[in-house]
C-alpha cells in the first residue's frame, strides 16, 4: 500500500517528535534511521499498515552538500513508496547556519518534486513558538533573545525568518502575513499562488494559534512539499481525512504487547533527566557509571552488567546511569576531555543495551539524544513503529531486533523531556503480555 505522507527530518529526536504528532493526528507511523536502503515492506516485516514514514537524518549542521545528498536520496525512496505529500521537518527554533541547511534542502526537494512553491511553518503555539510578520518568538522573546543566539552549533541571531532564509536560498523568499491568514484558507492559498507567480519558492507563514495552524494545514494540503515543525504535522492528518486520502484508524499508536525485562539507560546530564534519576533511585536501586572507571578497562562495565542481571532476575526495573551534576561533569571532562568522556559513556551504554537485550530485556528506556543514537546504532535498529505518547514528544516505539522473536519496546527520550516520574511511569503505561506492566 502506498504511504500518504513521507517526511524527512534533520535530526533524530526531531523525527520522533514529528512522528509522535502524526500518530496523535491519527496516522500509523514508522520512523526510519538514516536513508533507507530497502523497501518499507522489508524494513517493517508485516507489522501492519503504515500511513506516514519519517526518515531521520543527521543533517542539521553538517556541510550543505551532505545534507542535500541525504535529503534527495531519502526523497527518492519516499517517492518510490508512493508518498502523496512530502514534509521537510526542522526545529521549531529554525536551527540552521548562515549557509543552511534549511533553505538549500527545501529548495532542492521542491525542485525534485516539480513544485512551484512551499511553506515554512516552524510554529508550535502550544509550546510557545509563534511567528508574526515573519519573526519567530519563543514565548514572549524574539528568537534572537531566547538563548538560541548562544547555541554552540546553530546560533540564531536574527529572528526575521524571511531574512534568515533568504541568506540561505537561491530564490526569493516571501511572507504569508497573519492579516491574510486570518481571512481563511482560500485567502492563504491565493497569497501563495500570487507569490509563486512572482518567482517566490519559499513562503514563511505567520502562525499565532492552533487555529492558525489548522487554517494553514487546510491551505497547503495539496502542495507536493510542506516544511516546518511538528506542530504542522499534528494539523495535517485531519485534512487528509477530509479529502478521503486517509481512513479512520481507531488506535494509530497500537503496538504489539511488550514482553521481557525493563531497563533504563541514562546518558543525559540535563536537568530533567537528573530529576528523573533521583525519582527512580527513591524507589529502586541503580548503578552509577563512572567514566573514569570506564577509561580503565572493561571491569566497570561488567560490574554494571552484574548489577542489571541481578535486578532483572528480581523482576526489575534496572537503572544504569552516567548522568551527573555540573560539578562532577566538569571534573570528569577536565580529566578525560569532553569528547573522550562522552564517547566512553556512549560506548558503554551501547554495549550494555546489546548484551542485555540479547539476554532478554524487552522494554528499554534511554535518556539523552546522543545516548539514544548510540544505543540505536549498537542494536542495529533501522525502523521504529511509533506508539502512544508517554509525555509530550516521547512515545513508546517498537523495533525488530535480529535474534529476538518479539519486537523490542523502546522509549528514546531527549534529555530535557519528560516529567519527574518518567522512568517509572513509562513502564506502567506499556501493555505487556506477561502483566509485568505495573511492576515499576
Please report how close the Cβ of residue 52 comes to ligand ADP at its closest, in angstroms.
Answer: 25
| β-pair partners for 96 | none
Please report how close the Cβ of residue 138 comes to ligand ADP at its closest, in angstroms.
Answer: 18
Please report how close the Cβ of residue 104 comes to ligand ADP at its closest, in angstroms.
Answer: 26
CB atoms within 10 A of CB 283: 13
Please report how close the Cβ of residue 59 comes to ligand ADP at its closest, in angstroms.
Answer: 17
Q: For ligand ADP, which is the closer residue by CB, 152 or 244?
A: 152
Q: For ligand ADP, which is the closer residue by CB, 261 or 415?
A: 415
Please report how close the Cβ of residue 328 comes to ligand ADP at its closest, in angstroms.
Answer: 6
Residue sitting closest to ligand ADP (CB): 415
386 in Cβ contact with 19 (< 8 Å):
yes
CA distance 18 to 436: 29
Q: For ligand ADP, which is the closer residue by CB, 270 or 382?
A: 270
Point out which residues bind ligand ADP (CB under 6 A): 267-270, 291, 322-324, 329, 332-333, 341-342, 345-346, 368-371, 414-415
Q: For ligand ADP, which is the closer residue by CB, 236 or 365?
A: 365
Q: For ligand ADP, which is the closer residue by CB, 150 or 405?
A: 150
Please report how close the Cβ of residue 125 comes to ligand ADP at its closest, in angstroms.
Answer: 24
Please report how close the Cβ of residue 198 comes to ligand ADP at its closest, in angstroms.
Answer: 42
Relative to beta strand 225-228, strand 85-89 is parallel
Q: For ligand ADP, which is the closer residue by CB, 10 or 218?
A: 10
Please report how close the Cβ of residue 11 comes to ligand ADP at its closest, in angstroms.
Answer: 11
- Per residue, the 3-state secondary structure of the chain, as one string, reads CCCCEEEEECCHHHHHHHHHHHHHCCCCEEEEECCCCCCHHHHHCCCCCCCEEEEECCCCCCCHHHHHHHHHHHHHHHHHCCCCEEEEECCCCCCCCCCCCHHHHHHHHHHHCCCCCEEEECCEHHHCEEEECCEEEECCEEHHHCCHHHCCCCCCCCCEHHHHHHHHCCCCEEEECHHHHCCCHHHHHHHHHHHHHCCCCEEEECECCHHHHHHHHHHHCCCCEEEECHHHHHHHHHHHHHCCCCCCCCCCCCCCCECCEEEEEECCCCHHHHHHHHHHHCCCCCEECCHHHHCCCCHHHHHHHHHHHHHHHCCCCEEEECCCCHHHHHHHHHHHCHHHHHHHHHHHHHHHHHHHHHCCEEEEEEECHHHHHHHHHHCCCCEEEEEEEEECCEEEEEECCCCCCCCEEEEEECCCCCCCCHHHHHHHCCCECCCHHHHC
Please report how close the Cβ of residue 58 comes to ligand ADP at its closest, in angstroms.
Answer: 12
Q: For ligand ADP, which is the closer residue by CB, 158 or 370?
A: 370
Q: For ligand ADP, which is the closer residue by CB, 249 or 336?
A: 336
Q: For ligand ADP, which is the closer residue by CB, 223 or 304?
A: 304
φ and ψ at residue 56, rounded to 5 degrees: -90, 115
Please report how close the Cβ of residue 291 comes to ligand ADP at its closest, in angstroms.
Answer: 5
Q: For ligand ADP, which is the closer residue by CB, 38 or 419?
A: 419
Amino acid at each position: 500500500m502506498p504511504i500518504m505522507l513521507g517526511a524527512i527530518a534533520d535530526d533524530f529526536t526531531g523525527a520522533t517528535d514529528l512522528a509522535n504528532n502524526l500518530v496523535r493526528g491519527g496516522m500509523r507511523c514508522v520512523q526510519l534511521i538514516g536513508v533507507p536502503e530497502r523497501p518499507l515492506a522489508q524494513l517493517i516485516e508485516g507489522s501492519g499498515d503504515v500511513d506516514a514514514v519519517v526518515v531521520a537524518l543527521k543533517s542539521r549542521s553538517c556541510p550543505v552538500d551532505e545534507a542535500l545528498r541525504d535529503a534527495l536520496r531519502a526523497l527518492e525512496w519516499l517517492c518510490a513508496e508512493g508518498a502523496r505529500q512530502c514534509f521537510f521537518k526542522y526545529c521549531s527554533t529554525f536551527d540552521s547556519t548562515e549557509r543552511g541547511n534549511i533553505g538549500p534542502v527545501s529548495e532542492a526537494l521542491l525542485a525534485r518534486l516539480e513544485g512551484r512553491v512551499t511553506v515554512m511553518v516552524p510554529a508550535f503555539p502550544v509550546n510557545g513558538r509563534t511567528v508574526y510578520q515573519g519573526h519567530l518568538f519563543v514565548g514572549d522573546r524574539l528568537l534572537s533573545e531566547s538563548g538560541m543566539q548562544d547555541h554552540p552549533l546553530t546560533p540564531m541571531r536574527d529572528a526575521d525568518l524571511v531574512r534568515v532564509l533568504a541568506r540561505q536560498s537561491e530564490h526569493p523568499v516571501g511572507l504569508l502575513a497573519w492579516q491574510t491568514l486570518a481571512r481563511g484558507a482560500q485567502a492563504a492559498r491565493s497569497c501563495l499562488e500570487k507569490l509563486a507567480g512572482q518567482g517566490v519558492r519559499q513562503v514563511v507563514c505567520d502562525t499565532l494559534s492552533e487555529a492558525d495552524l489548522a487554517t494553514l494545514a487546510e491551505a497547503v494540503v495539496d502542495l507536493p512539499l510542506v516544511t516546518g515543525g511538528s506542530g504542522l504535522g499534528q494539523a495535517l492528518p485531519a485534512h487528509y481525512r477530509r479529502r478521503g486520502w486517509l481512513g479512520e484508524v481507531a488506535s494509530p499508536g497500537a503496538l504489539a504487547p511488550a514482553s521481557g525485562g525493563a531497563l533504563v539507560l541514562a546518558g543525559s546530564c540535563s536537568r530533567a533527566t537528573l530529576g528523573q534519576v533521583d525519582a527512580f533511585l527513591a524507589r529502586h536501586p541503580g548503578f552509577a557509571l563512572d567514566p573514569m572507571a570506564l577509561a580503565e578497562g572493561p571491569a566497570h562495565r561488567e560490574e554494571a552488567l552484574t548489577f542489571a542481571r541481578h535486578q532483572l532476575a528480581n523482576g526489575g526495573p534496572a537503572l544504569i546511569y552516567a548522568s551527573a551534576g555540573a560539578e562532577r561533569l566538569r571534573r570528569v571532562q577536565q580529566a578525560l576531555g569532553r569528547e573522550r568522556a562522552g564517547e566512553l559513556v556512549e560506548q558503554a551504554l551501547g554495549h550494555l543495551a546489546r548484551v542485555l537485550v540479547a539476554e532478554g530485556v524487552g522494554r528499554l528506556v534511554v535518556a539523552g539524544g546522543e545516548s539514544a543514537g548510540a544505543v540505536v546504532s549498537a542494536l542495529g535498529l533501522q525502523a521504529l513503529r511509533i506508539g502512544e505518547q508517554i509525555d509530550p514528544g516521547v512515545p513508546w516505539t517498537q523495533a525488530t531486533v535480529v535474534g529476538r522473536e518479539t519486537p523490542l519496546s523502546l522509549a528514546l527520550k531527549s534529555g530535557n523531556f519528560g516529567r519527574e516520574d518518567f522512568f517509572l511511569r513509562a513502564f506502567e503505561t506499556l501493555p505487556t503480555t506477561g502483566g509485568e506492566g505495573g511492576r515499576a
